[in-house]
Amino acid sequence: MRSRLLLSTAFITSLFISAAPQAATLTGTVTGPDGQPFKGAFVQARNAKTKITVSVLTGKDGKYKAPDLGAGDYRVAIRAPGFKADPKSGLALAADQTASADFALKNGEVRWSDLSIHQGKQLMPDHPGKGMLFGLCMACHGFQSRMAGMSRTEEGWRDRVNYMRTDMGFFVSDPRFGFTDQKSEEVIQYLTAMFSEDSILPKSPAELPKFKDVVRPFSDDSLNIVYVEYEMPGGNRMPWSAKPDKDGSFWIPYYGKANKIGRLNPDTGEIKEYPVPFTGTAAIHSAVPAPDGSVWLTEQGSSRLGRWDPKTEKVTEYQHDLRKHTVAIDTNGLVWSTGGLARFDPKTEKYEPIKDVPTSYGISLDKDNNVWFAELINTGKIGRVDAKTLEVKKWTLPTVNGRPRRIVVAEDQTVWFAEFDSGKLAHFDPKTEKIDEFQLPGPAPSPYALGIDKNGQIWYSSEWMDVVGKLDPASGKITEYPVPRPENSMRDFFMDDKGRMWFGSPPNDRVGYFYLAK
């Protein structure tokens, strides 16, 4: 039996078509170079017309099943880093057919762009620029797609670092974070040493003795996850999330300079885009549909709220002196935003800052419109704003400097939050004021996106380890699942009415959902 954590692209053999009662299905077996069943390879079927990709994993017997494929022509490939094969295009499927495709893998090469952020940090050599690169530059994206995936000269890397400092800004332009001209030059020299024609790195990280120490296997019960992904209309959209509205569309904020939000039709894969008036770097961090059909968004780069009007399909912006991060809308139509926590009244077009919460990150509302927030910076606390009195109450975490990030109110009105630095999920009961923490597995859990499914299971993404995880609160069991692409960078989870968990993958310019196959 062959198994790997790292997973690449591939080929297809023998096809036959037979009748099936419902949507199209693709099945088959994957074998390794030794001819034995290959466990844990991603089989990825992409519809040529809709550009929708369905990714499933092979089980311990090497078999896989890709369900619910729409009619059309498919390109089928395998992702299994360290192994290779040619993809196969032109597989035509009707809605009532089942196709079978078997894969025979050959030995290939693990690429630096196949690694997780944690693996890269462990394997890349030390240098004065390494700390800033992984400490600040990785706050919005990893090294895989924008660094390891290409080769640049020193001047080429200088151009890219200067672009990040001037056009993107944030951590690498704010003097509070120490990204000085000297530190900038150190990062440039490090990137040149790592990712240029004269790179000091071996061609493959698998050549390093430490490589085997950073590869972690997945359990057999983690191989039943299904991912469905949608491609953006163009590059560099950096979709942060995908949140459903009452009509079944999904709203997507574009981070960076794209300065748009998108509306996805999940059936066709079509995305319609709407620009914001701001012409700088808007860095749209959050887009949330309201009950009246409008969509509220936050522009982290301009410190503005925006409202998309369903009648005019235009965005109106509202400037503020506090940075805008994540947005939530209460049942009275009041718009709450984090950064510096503030409430905005659309009727008066006035902001009301919550002075006792000068910095905040995640936000969630309970059934009484009370606002729950997480303080990522400095204090490491969670808190609540009383909807009627605006009184603020905060609670200190048991783990010092845990840095809570996302926060979600559950159906029972208890609160779950993710501690990014301590690698824990935590549960807070407002009645008893008790906090229970659950340590996540692995060397760098870094939980970011957070969601609760219809069965009360707690889902999270690991920013540094490129996994999705599920916590069963009743038993405390945690199951980790592979992701279909490196550098997933999932920021938020939103569940739709079908129980599917939606996400954005900014570096890969995709949004999608996942679910567990029965």
Beta bridge partners of 335: 329, 344
CA distance 441 to 504: 23
3-class DSSP state for residue 117? helix
**Of 176 and 485, the one with more pLDDT:** 485
**Which residues, including other chains, have CB under 8 Å from residue 475's CB and lie 6 or more apart?**
none
Which backbone phi and psi does 135 adopt, to 5 degrees?
-80, -40
- What's the whole-number average pLDDT of the chain? 92
**What pLDDT was estimated at residue 308?**
98
CB atoms within 10 A of CB 127: 16
Per-residue pLDDT at 174 exceeds 70: no
**Which residues, including other chains, have CB under 8 Å from residue 59's CB and lie 6 or more apart?**
39, 220, 223, 224
Residue 324 near residue 304, CB atoms below 8 Å: yes
Per-residue pLDDT at 467 exceeds 80: yes
Q: Model's pTM, two decimal places?
A: 0.93
| Annotated domain spans of the chain | 2-108, 112-213
Per-residue pLDDT at 175 exceeds 70: no
pLDDT band at residue 172, thresholds of 50, 70 and 90? low
Q: What is the DSSP letter of 391?
A: -
CA distance 110 to 8: 8
Please give the average per-residue pLDDT across 106-132, as a whole number.
Answer: 95
Topology of 2-108 in CATH?
A: Protocatechuate 3,4-Dioxygenase, subunit A (2.60.130)
Q: What is the DSSP letter of 37?
A: B
**What pLDDT was estimated at residue 135?**
83
CA distance 479 to 469: 6
As a 3-state breakdown, the chain gives helix, strand, coil percent values, each rounded to 5, of 15, 40, 45
> pLDDT of 282-292, one tens digit each?
999 999 999 99
C-alpha distances out from residue 261 to 149, 285, 306, Å: 27, 10, 10
Per-residue pLDDT at 23 exceeds 70: yes
**What pLDDT was estimated at residue 16?**
34
> pLDDT of 60-99, one tens digit each?
999 999 999 999 999 999 999 999 888 989 999 998 899 9
Please give the average per-residue pLDDT across 488-499, as a whole number.
Answer: 95
**What pLDDT was estimated at residue 382?**
97
- Closest by Cα among 149, 155, 9 to 82: 9
> pLDDT of 281-325, one tens digit each?
999 999 999 999 999 999 999 999 999 999 999 999 999 999 999
Fill in the amino acid letter for 221. D
**Of 245 and 2, the one with more pLDDT:** 245
pLDDT band at residue 518, thresholds of 50, 70 and 90? confident
Q: Please give the structure tokens belonging to residue 499.
A: 């129980």
